Every structure is written in C-alpha cells, then in structure tokens.
Structure 1
C-alpha cells in the first residue's frame, strides 16, 4: 500500500504552502486519492519533490560528484581564532559545518550570506516513523 499525505503534510514535505499544493492539484501536476479530505499519493509526491529539486536554482556553476547540495542562508557563525561553526538554513533543513576560521574569512561567510552546503558521505542513516 502506497502512503498518502494530507495537503498540509504534502506542503510541509515539499517546503511550499498549502495553496501551492492545491494549485498543483487543480493544474493536474499532482493527483489525489479518493479519500475525504483529498490526499496526495506518496509516490506522486516523491516525483514532484524530485522535479522541484531539479528546478531549484543553485548559485554555483560547478561540476561535482557530490549529489547532496543544500542551498540556503547562513544563520549563525561562531568563530574563535582557529575554528568556526557555520549554520545554514536550507529550507526546512539546518546544516551545521565545522571549518577553520580562516575558511570563514576567505569565503566571507556572515549571517545572511547565500551558501551551499555540500555533503559527501559514505554513511547515510535512514529512519521512518513508527506505524
């Protein structure tokens, strides 16, 4: 059985408003189930998420082997003389990077800066909600 999501849940998962989901349904870009109130099938929502990710603008013009790229705004920089912590809010995702204070200065990172967090890892933990 394919999971399905209420309009508000689908909106949160895609990082858009409820009205955006309703417009996508009205335009035929997202199907709905026969449930009342209407729900979005999980497989269709997943396809839409991939489509939106491909449309999203990445401010960099680079080729990379890393597929996990989170474009967002720097929300916090804590630095001492040697090391720094940089927080990036990329949609609903908070990404925290530890780097040298020199790198922060060289990149000109400050609160409000546009940045891309690139994650290249061999271990990814996957969790699902309990039924």
Structure 2
C-alpha cells in the first residue's frame, strides 16, 4: 500500500502540514511509522479525504453538465490582448490555464483574487506515475 510522509500528503491535497496534523488529531486520517520512523499517511485515506474536500465545495450554478472535472480556485492572472485572454487559476496545488475570448473575460469580470471554477471536458487524459527505483 502507498504511504506519504506528512509534508508530501499535505502538498498533494493543497493544505499545510499543520492542517494535515489536525486532521490526524481529529481522527480524519490515521498515521503509522515507516521504516525510518517517520509518520506516514495511507494513500487510500488521503485520496478519500481529497474527494471529501472536493465534494464539500458547493455547486451553486444549478446547471447540468456532462463535464465531471471541476477545479475550484482563485484567479491569479488575467492577461487580455486583442481578441483573446489568458486566465490562470490556482486550484489547490494545481495551476490551470484557460484561453478564452477577451469579451468572455470582460463579461465574467475576471480579476486577480476572484473565485473561479475550471471545468474540463477532455477525451484524452494522460496519467503519469513515478517509476519504481528497483
């Protein structure tokens, strides 16, 4: 089973080490010790906690959609040039970049610090993992 050190687990779900330790203290996650004596969190529990956090973000749009990949975050950059705009969101540990019309960016009143949801519909999603050291 995959385990993550406290700092790794916190980075993966986009919270501080202290927040992750509070979750352990509150019984939301369990820890054990690895062979080096460091506290580690089970990957399955961390994945379930990440899903619970995502599910807790309300969808106030009242819109039905086929896209299932929704990343809630904060707008960190808006660059409008001519007919196009580049908008960047920080969604937890993920940076999401969107290209859209300048008209759409203006209509949405996008500005640094505003809340946004990146909705992604893709037929191809590439998944990567680290190679085993063996």
TM-score, normalising length from structure 2?
0.87
CA contact (8 A) 1:58 1:71 kept: no
Distance 1:34 1:94 in 2: 32
- Look up the SS of the partner of 2:50 in the other structure: helix
SS at match of 1:25: helix
CA distance in 2, matches of 1:48, 1:114: 22
State the distance in 1 between where 2:7 and 2:104 align. Answer: 40
1:106 equivalent in structure 2:
107
Where do residues 1-131 of structure 1 align in structure 2 (5 Å cutoff)? 2-35=1-34, 36-58=37-59, 60-131=61-132
The CA RMSD measured in Å over matched residues stands at 1.6
Q: Quick one: distance in 2 between partners of 1:26 and 1:73?
A: 29
2:130 match: secondary structure: coil
CA deviations on 1:32-52 (whole Å, 9 max, x unpaired) are: 224322211111111111111
- Give the Å deviation of 1:107: 1.1
Matched-pair contact (CA < 8 Å) for 2:75–2:113: yes
Shift of 1:59: 5.2
Unaligned stretches of 5+ residues in structure 1:
none
Counterpart CA distance in 2 for 1:29 and 1:115 is: 28
Contact 2:13 2:93 in 1 (8 A): no
Report the TM-score, using the length of structure 1 for normalisation.
Answer: 0.89
Residue range with higher mean Cα deviation, 75-84 or 5-14: 75-84
Q: Distance in 2 between matches of 1:20 and 1:74?
A: 23
Q: Which ranges in structure 2 are unaligned for 5 or more consecutive residues?
A: none
Aligned to 2:32, the other structure's residue is in SS state coil
Greater mean alpha carbon deviation, residues 57-66 or residues 15-24: 57-66
